[in-house]
Chain A
Amino acid sequence: MDTSRQQNMFRREYLGKGIATVCGLFLIVLTIAIGCFLLGKGSLTFTQFDHSITEFLFSSQWKPSDTEAGGGQVGALIFIVGSILTCALALLISVPFSLCTAIFMTKISPQLGEKIIRPAVEIFVGIPSVVYGWVGLVVLVPLIKTVFHVQHGQSVLAAAIVLAVMIYPTITSVSADAIRSVNSKYIEGAYGLGSTRWQMIYKVLLPAASTGILTAIVLGLARAFGEALAVSMVIGKMRAFPDSLLAPTNNLTSAIASDMGGAMDGGEFNAALWSMALLLFIISLVFILIIHALSGRKGAAA
């Protein structure tokens, strides 16, 4: 009788609970596994091939050898600078426009915002990155070429614009949420003191929502940093520091995307590319930490 009841409980509770538990813990294990593999493969550059982290981060000499013997140079500074430059420029372009749209859809015309802008943002988010890259390649690149009379349209500027369009919906929707959640007593207070709408927005609304807006910007930045194919289609993939915004360069993700297939497993080249992937992983973790710090600040303020 006891065993039959246990069997019964097995079917009624323990089986389902067990499966759910295994799947839940699997997520944790998967995350740890990804982290460990990245760390293991990415650190080979520094352990097996004896390069210093300083060389990797601050040297622009990039000549890794595609052999297990190693002996090349793995300075990834050009790629790092390329990533930072394109992302920073993308933010510069995107943030003002995103904020305008976010304010519009929440405070200026919530009806239009709900009916038109919000669905538009959702569609924008869903467009595959290669489609952005492809339109960038066939529209933006020729345009830059003719407008600025440069040899190749593929450039830092093109990459930044493509990225700016891609992160625009992310920043818009997250900051719209932040603006929406600003306590209406602040807004009423501002109007009560005789502010115009614009004065209310830039003196009260934006400061009150600043933490959420920063979070939105960091999320956008994270998306831009990790984006690979769209950027690689328009950045030009030239291994040199850009001397102007119209010059081609290269970035971390493009280098990994285009070179990994040709790099021999176990070789120095391969290890250096893994180190770049590890760097991307660490950067994405840093972004998470920043967002946590921001939300902690929000909690403290409230």
Chain B
Amino acid sequence: MYNDSVLGVAAAEASMPIRSNLSFTCNHVNLYYGSFQALKDINLKIERNKITALIGPSGCGKSTFLRTLNRMNDLVPGCRVEGEIMLDGVDAYKDVDPIVLRRHVGMVFQQPNPFPKSIYDNVAYGPRLKGITKKAELDEIVETSLRQAAIWDELKDRLKKSALGLSGGQQQRLCIARALAVNPEVLLMDEATSALDPISTAHIEDLALELKKKYTVIMVTHNMQQAKRIADRTAFFYLGEMVEYGDTQQIFDNPQKERTIRYVSGNFG
């Protein structure tokens, strides 16, 4: 659709024709906040065009891990990441500028965070940063993105209205459209439904299932039912470690590790 300098380096282009079925590959990832170690030796391979859920009790490091994938943790003073995180064969920490990385790894946050601008300007924000100024082109991107986020029909008549006037569920879908407008490879969802009502949550879940056809979706959720409903793969985090990772069904029906069994069964009583 528009010029897209994939991760900026030749390695990425080389891997393009024979895209492996892996998106992220994490090897021995350790993360420290000052002297506190928040992630301990995480090894994880995330598959393309699947929904991967990260579950675990609060404070277990699942959100922290999610934020290492698009280097949002770079913003935290005193935060240090060790190990290797590869995206499409490119080291996300050594060979990629974080700003370029974030265009390819979109993120949706726990609280819907539309900018205090119009709906149109929210979606066009990312493309404009890339230097796209032609109105026809922007119009097309906005429409495509809003359609992908399944909210075009609701919003098409009020594109110039402030995004802050939307309901929470609409705001969250707008934020998804905003993330899709920069044409990412991966979409990270950080407890994206926890601030929403059940109906809006169902909308977002349906949307995620639709989106995985085109994107790789990685979601953090505290709601195990949700992981069970829509995730293909599930990783269980506990105290900064990744305890177990496998097909969702296996994690919930036949967990191998003692801590996973306790967590999964405890919550289903």
Contacts and interface: CB of A to CB of B under 8 A. Distances in A.
Contacts of B97: 5, 9
Contacts of A5: 8, 97
A154 B8 CA distance: 77
A45 to B, nearest CB: 47
Interface in A1-54: 5, 9
A126 B97 CA distance: 50
Interface in B76-98: 97
Interface in B82-119: 97
Interface size grouping (class) on chain A? under 10
Nearest to B100: A5
Contacts of A9: 97
Contacts of B8: 5
A5 B97 CA distance: 10
A5 B7 CA distance: 12
A9 B8 CA distance: 14
Nearest to A13: B99
A285 B93 CA distance: 48
A145 B8 CA distance: 84
B75 to A, nearest CB: 14
A9 B97 CA distance: 10
Interface string B1-19: 0000000100000000000
A147 to B, nearest CB: 59
A174 B35 CA distance: 42
Nearest to A8: B131
B201 to A, nearest CB: 37
B267 to A, nearest CB: 38
Nearest to A1: B8
Interface in A59-104: none
Nearest to A2: B8
A26 B8 CA distance: 37
A5 B8 CA distance: 10
Nearest to B129: A12
Nearest to B9: A1
B37 to A, nearest CB: 31
A5 B99 CA distance: 12
A212 to B, nearest CB: 32
B5 to A, nearest CB: 9
A8 B124 CA distance: 20
Nearest to B10: A1
A1 to B, nearest CB: 8
Interface in B4-50: 8
A152 B97 CA distance: 76
A9 B129 CA distance: 12
3 contacts: A5-B8, A5-B97, A9-B97
Interface of A: 5, 9
The 3 closest A-B pairs by CB, nearest first: A5-B8, A5-B97, A9-B97
